[in-house]
């Protein structure tokens, strides 16, 4: 391998395989006996949900490339056909491992803790009678079995829905004998049903809806003999296609596309592992899939639905201990947020510190008669958002409210359309960003009259304005009334709404204009320091690293002696530890109770360091196809806090860290004889209120 050829495909991991490796790390949490039992089941559900999206988006993209005979490859130079083959093999292994952990570890451990999933063989007479009543009262009225014949073609199967294919013998009342019927389970029915304790004898006894339908499927076909009943589930292409250059109204175009997602092209077929080969082939043929797309599973076809159990079981010992997010003294209840920000920049580290001050800031701005305008970007907000309600109140109060809503936030499009309509009805100005560029920046700007002057207050974050995810995602946010920050954010909003040129920003870096160029310059700056024999270091934390130019710049920096420490939760195309190329680079991934989400970039700069927080990962889309904001942490105390808490704690973590190997695999760290260190646990102890 030539050390100078930094484009050599052998130096790059495959993106899709790297994403599956991330899901292996999540699944490992379900297999970890040190994790509370019900939390392990949650990690199992998360893995299932992640894999659904993987097939809906990533596999769909690969298949589309193959359909159009695309020869485009990533930096690893693997063709779409070869990628699909390798990804299919890896995904089959991962899903097999999922069900092995479920059946051999989680279900026995749950049963030992008094939580049982009752199979049909476990039903006694009393339980059977209760289940039959449930079927007759709750299931039977909403089930519509469809026997297949020329007048009853194969029904449309909703994306990720639970279905059954039933084999039959005999004739129905009209003399028809198709031999095959389809039963679709309505989404209104819970997938996990709790049996009363007085019926089964157990406080936490559950039965799967699939088991109930299996047991009573004959009731749906009177006079005919059911010879087999097998659950199946189809995962479809989840991407929406809207040509930004052609549509006149993006909101209306997306509204028209949303229904098609439910019945788009099939990507994966899951069936029960006892399904006969001829029936599986029949389903594959109908959905235009191949045997590589078939996943035969030993258990429920949708493990994501197991998340229901968490709220149904009141056993705190089987869950992570609760905690109260901390609130800085300057932002305690009743504080005037504007006065607090005037005293100096304020930093919050979610979820260890509360998201409530962010909500309170918007509420105070909405109610303050001196506030003239509020501008905010919204990407994901969640249902019945308190922030959105405050913006509505502000608009109704006559304030100038401008909201940049990214309608194309994947799988939140419908919610964002409703949000846009709600804000417009209240009188807010709503725009949908820039054609061809998702607005991913997290920015909030409040203009307030104070005496004879106008002052700008700014909130910038690495995560969404979403109160629920702020409890489970780690993120940083900054409050400031620094005039340069205010002017920069004002310019970006003006650009988003008026589509004019923003002018030169004073402190913020912005995609798609200055972020990539500046990151490259900062890497080169460290490289020059190393060449001159000065100390040189880069520490960067993010969700994903895929952009080729940045990776090659990091390789070059490593070759000159720059010490590079990367903390990358998910996909990483860079290969660390390659002799002569990346020996000075380490990559670790932290998988724990909370989803690591902040982006933090540190450059030593010979002792005069630069430290930024950002909404952007180092990916092509974030650098070139999105509007992103990257902001420096200038206050010395806050700068050191982010450096120590956001970077150094994570580099010292030896309980939840996984180290990326040169071959693309990961090895989990172990404290061994050292003192166990967990960054997330340390932050809980330091920042939360208990």
pLDDT digits (tens, 9 = 90+) for 526-582: 999 999 999 999 999 999 999 999 999 999 999 999 999 999 999 999 999 999 999
| Structural tokens at position 217 | 């499927």
Tokens of 39: 């939390």
For residue 396, the tally of other CB atoms under 10 A from its CB is 14
Residue 151: predicted pLDDT = 61
User: What is the Cα–Cα distance from 684 to 421, expressed in whole angstroms?
Assistant: 39
Q: Do 489 and 407 form a contact (C-beta atoms < 8 A)? A: no
DSSP 643: I
Distance CA 401, CA 410 (A): 25
User: What integer pLDDT is reported at residue 244 of this predicted model?
Assistant: 42
Contact 268, 59 (CB under 8 A): yes
- pLDDT, residue 634, reads 97
3-state secondary structure of 246: coil
Instruction: Output the six-digit token pair for 313.
Output: 């079981």
Closest CA to 148 of 349, 286, 26, 354: 286
Q: What is the pLDDT of residues 125-140, one digit of tens each?
A: 999 999 999 999 999 9
Taking a C-beta distance cutoff of 8 angstroms, is the pair 148, 180 a contact? yes
Sheet bearing 266-272, strands edge to edge: 146-147, 180-184, 163-169, 225-236, 266-272, 294-297
Supply the pLDDT for residue 253: 44
pTM of the entire predicted model: 0.93
Q: Which domains, and CATH codes, for the chain?
A: 9-318 (3.30.1840.10), 329-506 (3.30.870.10), 511-687 (3.30.870.10)
Residue 118: other Cβ atoms inside 10 A: 19
Task: Choose between 156 and 38: higher pLDDT.
Answer: 38
pLDDT > 90 in the chain, percent:
80
Which positions are catalytic? 440
Cβ neighbour number for residue 499 with a 10 Å cutoff: 10
Q: Which of 55, 56, 70, 75 shows the shortest CA–CA distance to 12? A: 75
Length of the chain: 690
Mean pLDDT of the 63-84 span:
90
Percent of the chain with pLDDT over 70: 93
- Give the Cβ contact number of residue 71 at 10 Å: 8
Residue 268 binned pLDDT confidence (cut-offs 50, 70, 90): very high
Where residue 450 falls among pLDDT bands split at 50, 70, 90? very high
Q: What is the pLDDT of residues 141-195, one digit of tens each?
A: 999 898 887 667 898 999 999 999 999 988 766 666 668 999 999 888 999 999 9
């Amino acid at each position: 391998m030539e050390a100078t050829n930094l484009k050599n495909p052998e130096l790059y991991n495959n993106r899709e395989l790297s994403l599956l490796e991330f899901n292996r790390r999540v699944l490992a949490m379900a297999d970890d006996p040190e994790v509370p039992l019900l939390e392990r089941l949650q990690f199992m559900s998360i893995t299932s949900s992640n894999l659904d999206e993987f097939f809906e988006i990533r596999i769909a993209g690969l298949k589309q490339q193959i359909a159009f005979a695309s020869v485009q490859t990533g930096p690893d130079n693997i063709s779409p056909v070869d990628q699909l083959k390798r990804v299919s093999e890896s995904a089959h292994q991962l899903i097999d491992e999922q069900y092995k952990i479920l059946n051999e570890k989680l279900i026995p451990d749950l049963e030992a803790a008094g939580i049982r999933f009752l199979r049909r063989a476990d039903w006694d007479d009393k339980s059977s009678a209760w289940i039959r009543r449930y079927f007759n009262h709750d299931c039977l009225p909403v089930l519509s079995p469809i026997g297949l014949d020329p007048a009853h073609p194969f029904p449309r199967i909703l994306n990720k829905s639970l279905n059954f294919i039933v084999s039959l013998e005999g004739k129905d009342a009209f003399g028809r004998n198709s031999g095959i019927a389809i039963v679709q389970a309505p989404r209104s029915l819970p997938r996990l049903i709790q049996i009363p304790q007085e019926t089964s004898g157990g406080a936490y006894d559950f039965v799967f809806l699939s088991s109930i339908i299996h047991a009573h499927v004959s009731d749906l076909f009177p006079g005919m003999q059911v010879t087999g009943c097998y659950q199946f589930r189809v995962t479809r292409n989840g991407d929406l296609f809207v040509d930004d250059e052609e549509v006149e109204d993006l909101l209306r175009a997306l509204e028209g596309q949303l229904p098609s997602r439910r019945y788009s092209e099939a990507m994966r077929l899951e069936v029960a592992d006892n399904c006969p080969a001829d029936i599986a082939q029949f389903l594959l043929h109908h959905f235009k899939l191949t045997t590589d797309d078939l996943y035969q599973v030993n258990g429920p076809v949708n493990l994501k639905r197991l998340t229901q159990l968490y709220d149904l079981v009141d056993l705190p010992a089987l869950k992570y201990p609760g905690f109260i997010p901390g609130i800085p003294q300057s932002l305690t209840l009743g504080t005037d947020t504007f006065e607090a920000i005037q005293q100096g920049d304020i930093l919050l580290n979610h979820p260890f510190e509360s998201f409530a001050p962010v909500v309170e800031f918007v509420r105070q701005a909405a109610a303050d008669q001196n506030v003239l305008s509020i501008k905010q970007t919204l990407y994901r907000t969640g249902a019945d958002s308190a922030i959105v309600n405050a913006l509505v109140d502000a608009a109704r109060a006559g304030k100038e409210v401008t909201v940049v809503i990214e309608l194309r936030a994947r799988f939140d499009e419908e919610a964002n359309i409703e949000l846009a309509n709600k804000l417009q009805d209240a009188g807010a100005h709503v725009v949908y960003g820039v054609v061809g560029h998702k607005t991913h920046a997290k920015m909030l700007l409040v203009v307030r009259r104070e005496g004879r002057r106008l002052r700008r207050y700014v909130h910038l974050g690495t995560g969404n304005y979403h109160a629920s995810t702020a409890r489970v995602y780690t993120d940083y946010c900054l409050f400031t009334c620094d005039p340069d920050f205010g002017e920069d954010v004002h310019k970006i909003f003006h650009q988003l709404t008026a589509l004019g040129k923003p002018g030169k920003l004073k402190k913020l870096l912005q995609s798609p204009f200055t972020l990539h160029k500046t990151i490259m310059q900062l890497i080169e700056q460290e490289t020059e320091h190393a060449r001159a024999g000065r100390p040189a270091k880069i520490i960067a934390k993010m969700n994903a690293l895929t952009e080729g130019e940045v990776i090659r710049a990091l390789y070059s920096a490593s070759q000159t002696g720059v010490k590079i420490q990367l903390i990358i939760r998910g996909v990483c195309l860079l290969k660390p530890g390659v002799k002569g190329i990346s020996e000075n680079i380490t990559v670790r991934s932290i998988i724990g109770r909370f989803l690591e989400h902040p982006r933090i970039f540190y450059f030593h700069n010979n002792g005069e360091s630069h430290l930024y927080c950002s909404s952007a990962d180092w990916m092509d889309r974030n650098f070139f196809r999105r509007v992103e904001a990257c902001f420096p942490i200038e206050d010395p105390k806050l700068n050191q806090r982010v450096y120590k808490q956001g970077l150094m704690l994570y580099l010292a973590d030896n309980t939840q860290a996984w180290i990326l190997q040169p071959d693309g695999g990961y090895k989990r760290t172990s404290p061994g004889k050292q003192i166990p260190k967990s960054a997330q646990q340390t932050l809980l102890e330091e920042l939360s209120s208990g």
